[in-house]
Amino acid sequence: MSRSLKEGEVEELKSKADIYSVVSNYVKLKKTGRNYTGLCPFHKEKTPSFTVDTSKQLYHCFGCGEGGDLINFVEKIENIEFIEAIEFLAKKIGYNLKYNYSGSKESSKLKSRLVELNELAKKYFNFILFNSKKGLPSLNYLKNRGFDEKTLKEFEVGFSLDSWNSFANFAKKRGYKPEEMIGCGLAIKSNRGSGEIYDRFRGRIMFPIEDIVGKTIGFGGRVISTMSKTGGQEAKYINTPETRLYSKSKNIYRIFQAKNHIVKEDEVLIVEGYTDVMALYQSGIKNVVASLGTALTSDQVKLLGRFTKNIVLVFDSDTAGMNASLKGVERLREYNEQLDLYYENNLDIRVAILEEGYDPADFIFKKGKEIFATKIKNAVNIIDFTIDAIIKKYNIGSLAGKLKASDHLIRFISTLSSSIIQGECIKNVAEKLNLKESLLLEEMLKKEYDHKKRAVRWDKDYDIEKKESVNENIIPLKRIEVEALKLVINGLGDRIDELLSLGPDYFRFEDTRQLYLIIRNEISRVREDNKKVNFPLKITSGAIENEDVKKLYNYILFSESHFKNQNISLVSNEIINNLKGIRISEEIEKIRKKMIEYEKNKNAGSDIKNKEAASKYDELYRRLIELEKEKMNLRIL
């Protein structure tokens, strides 16, 4: 079931809200004539140029030009989308939004009930922690760890009683049904039957989890004693299960409270535990969040990417932390494949490893903010971190260990979709293993990735429904050629003629080269007849004889282009530069090999032959310099 706001609902919301009341929570406003002025929250200034006009319910900054109505202000100041701003504002002023529904209203009503139930649970757990004798041991535990009461109340930390049905009975008395408590993950259905339920969280410190607009959608519970009356509580942490409201792979702990600090610092720190977030926050580091018991997922990165491009994963040095970071690389691969090929300014994901025996909370309390800040400053890029982690697995002092490490590293580097990043990694690995770049590059192109491996592993029973899984089998070097063909077949961008003029030598794989020639010939034929070329380009089946080429063409024709909403000029430029760069790199490698041969054989023949060899060596050197300049101009490293 889907829903949309009723017509006029946005205007109704704005009529109920007062721009001064909302803006004054963020900006210190002073009455100036009929308007209010203050320092703009969107840029740094010393003289107030930010103005609020209450008669028009508008704001404007004469310094940076930002302006609009109250919803525009909430969008900008909270860094949220339009519909999120509407829901945020409605919640802030206590207004119930009215929706049009396609299908049953029951689903939406249930979601609202589940949110209300979670909010009730948050207040209930918080009350027990601060106002109950049974909550006192947990409160003392938190204080002894270094947390002050102000922080605990700001984070709305609570405590669930070590009882089978304490919260369930409390909620029932307030009109909530057992199925609603099960639906939001606060209760579990009993095996005894007859509709009995029991509390999921028992004898645990409770951390409420909120979504991007501040609605409570779930909880994390930490046990502090193994002596549980209700049993079955061995796990140190348990979280709300997947529900209509909560998904651990899509949500992030404290993102609602941290997002503005993330924008301000242009960086986000990601830790593993709820108490880690609290400790850093209490120490004045507020651009911090936690993943919810998983390695960082692409959905979480997309959410964080709305606020910053700079991500630092903070781990302790134990094996779990190290493994989580490596899993993070795997989980991010799909997301990165859509970014690092087309954007020079991709997300900068770095890894900071703390000393053994310290989690972030212990580290900040015992070693202090300055030493922690140094750790963050010295964080390494996630790809460099992965390379180092792989190398540590092998004894590179021995030839066998070095061969195993290089093979593992080549397999890792080949999964990266950008040839620019691949080139940088090859340089890095060559230096660390004391090997020649050319040898590693040759191995990447040959060993295990020969023509059979590099060809698309087309499924014999391939159909349109399988196109996404097929795409996963295209290795990065080939993917560049496939994306180039996608541009031409779909008529995207203004550099199609340049792609057609490159020539078949820029397509190293047999099927992409053949398809390129067929496309080029087809477009030339249509243009010779003075006809308009229609896109997507339709090629008759008779014009494609090779089955692999036919399958490649069908795959491109029917697959959705994941860059269709991106800046096509940037995409085209990146693809063409990659094609040219790979071609140039191959030619450079050939020249270097020839120069090495001439160098080995110098003075081995007569004077005349030696002079000829020296002359040819000089020619090759000049050509090498030209190619290196071309490569630099393309920004291919």
**What pLDDT score does 493 carry?**
84
CB crowding 427-437: b at 16 or more within 10 Å, else e: ebbbeebebeb
Other Cβ atoms within 10 Å of 542 Cβ, number: 6
> Strand 268-271 relative to strand 310-315: parallel, antiparallel, unpaired?
parallel
**What pLDDT score does 418 carry?**
65
CA distances (Å), origin 207, targets 26, 238, 277, 559, 622: 26, 11, 11, 43, 66
Cα 471-472-478 angle, rounded to 5 deg: 70
DSSP alpha helices (H): ranges in 266-398? 274-282, 298-304, 319-337, 360-367, 369-377, 382-392
DSSP alpha helices (H): ranges in 98-148? 106-131, 136-144
DSSP state of 541: G
Tens of pLDDT, residues 174-231: 999 999 999 999 999 988 767 789 999 999 999 999 998 899 999 999 988 655 666 5
φ, ψ for residue 135, nearest 5 deg: -90, -10
The structure's pTM equals 0.60
Is 344 in a helix, a strand, or coil? coil
| Tokens matching residue 552 | 């490649």
| Tokens matching residue 510 | 């047999």
**What pLDDT score does 475 carry?**
63
Closest CA to 211 of 21, 78, 18: 78
**What pLDDT score does 107 carry?**
63
Which single residue is written with the structure tokens 């960086």? 267
373 touches 418 (CB < 8 A): no
| Chain Cα centroid distance, residue 281 | 23
Which single residue is written with the structure tokens 């060899």? 613
**Which helix (H) or strand (E) is 437 found in, with range?**
helix 437-446
Rounded CA separation 389/386 (Å): 5
Q: How would you class 623 by CB atoms within 10 Å of its CB: exposed for 0-12, middle for 13-18, buried for 19 or more?
A: middle
Closest CA to 117 of 172, 70, 157, 74: 172
For 620, residues 6+ apart whose C-beta sits below 8 A from its C-beta are 591, 594, 595, 598
In single-letter form, the type of residue at position 380 comes to: V
Those residues of the chain that have pLDDT short of 70 are: 1-3, 101-108, 193, 225-234, 294-295, 298, 317-346, 417-419, 446-476, 540-542, 557-566, 602-608, 635-637
DSSP alpha helices (H): ranges in 254-307? 255-265, 274-282, 298-304
Q: How would you class 278 by CB atoms within 10 Å of its CB: exposed for 0-12, middle for 13-18, buried for 19 or more?
A: buried
Rounded CA separation 236/234 (Å): 6
**What would the DSSP string read from start to end of 170-219?**
HHHHTT--HHHHHHTTSEEE-TT-TT-EEES--SEEEEEEE-TTS-EEEE
Rounded CA separation 235/70 (Å): 46
